[in-house]
C-alpha cells in the first residue's frame, strides 16, 4: 500500500469570459470533447471563497485530461484577458503535442485564439510555439521529432 495521499488527477480549472466561445475553441481548435455542464452555488461558494457565487462549470476531455471551464455569473470575473508572463508565480501554460505546428496555429487563429510567431523555436527536442486561447491562457504547441 502506498503512503502517497494523491490517488489520481481530476481536472484543471480555467476561468473564462464566454463559455460558448471557449467550448468552440477547445473543441474545434484543440480537439477536446464536451462532457457535461453543471450549475453551482452553495455550498461550493465556501470552496471558492466567494460569499455570493453562481457559476456554470463545463467539462471538456481529451487524452485523459479534463479541463473545467468556469463561467462565474456572480460575482463575475476579474483580471485581464491577456497572457501572463512566464515568470509570474502560478500555473504558466498548457502544453500540447501537435503533428504540425503550422496546421495547429491556423486552427487556433481560426477559432479565436492568438499566435505569437516570435516565440517559435526549432530545437533538437522539436518545433515549439506559444499561443493563447481567447481569454489569454497560454498554450504551448510542441511537435516532437519522430
Query: What are 81-139's pLDDT values in tens digits?
Result: 889 999 999 999 999 999 999 999 999 999 999 999 999 999 999 999 999 999 999 99
Query: CA of 68: how far to CAs of 91, 101, 131, in Å?
Result: 15, 25, 19
pLDDT over threshold 90, residue 76: yes
| Ordered domains of the chain (ranges, CATH) | 12-74 (3.10.180.10), 94-143 (3.10.180.10)
CB–CB of 93/138 below 8 Å? yes
pLDDT over threshold 90, residue 3: no
pLDDT value, residue 42:
93
pLDDT over threshold 80, residue 58: yes
CA distance 21 to 64: 23
Query: CA of 29: how far to CAs of 68, 71, 107, in Å?
Result: 17, 20, 5
- Model confidence band, residue 143 (pLDDT cutoffs 50, 70, 90): very high
Mean per-residue pLDDT, 49-65: 95
pTM of the predicted model, to two decimals?
A: 0.92
- Model confidence band, residue 36 (pLDDT cutoffs 50, 70, 90): very high
pLDDT over threshold 90, residue 72: yes
pLDDT over threshold 80, residue 1: no
Residue that is written with C-alpha cell 465556501 in the block: 46
What residues does 62 pair with on adjacent strands? 65
pLDDT value, residue 55:
95
How large a percentage of the chain has pLDDT more than 70?
99
Amino acid at each position: 500500500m502506498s503512503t502517497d495521499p494523491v490517488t489520481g488527477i481530476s481536472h484543471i480549472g480555467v476561468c473564462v469570459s464566454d463559455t460558448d466561445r471557449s467550448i468552440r475553441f477547445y473543441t474545434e481548435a484543440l480537439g477536446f470533447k464536451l462532457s457535461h455542464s453543471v450549475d453551482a452555488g452553495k455550498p461550493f461558494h465556501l470552496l471558492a471563497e466567494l460569499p455570493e457565487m453562481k457559476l456554470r462549470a463545463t467539462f471538456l476531455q481529451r487524452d485523459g485530461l479534463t479541463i473545467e471551464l468556469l463561467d462565474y455569473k456572480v460575482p463575475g470575473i476579474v483580471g485581464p484577458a491577456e497572457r501572463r508572463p512566464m515568470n509570474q508565480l502560478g500555473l504558466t501554460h498548457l502544453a500540447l503535442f501537435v503533428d504540425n505546428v503550422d496546421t495547429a496555429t491556423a486552427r487556433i487563429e481560426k477559432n479565436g485564439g492568438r499566435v505569437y510567431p516570435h516565440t517559435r523555436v526549432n530545437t533538437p527536442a522539436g518545433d515549439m510555439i506559444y499561443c493563447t486561447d481567447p481569454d489569454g491562457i497560454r498554450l504551448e504547441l510542441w511537435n516532437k521529432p519522430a
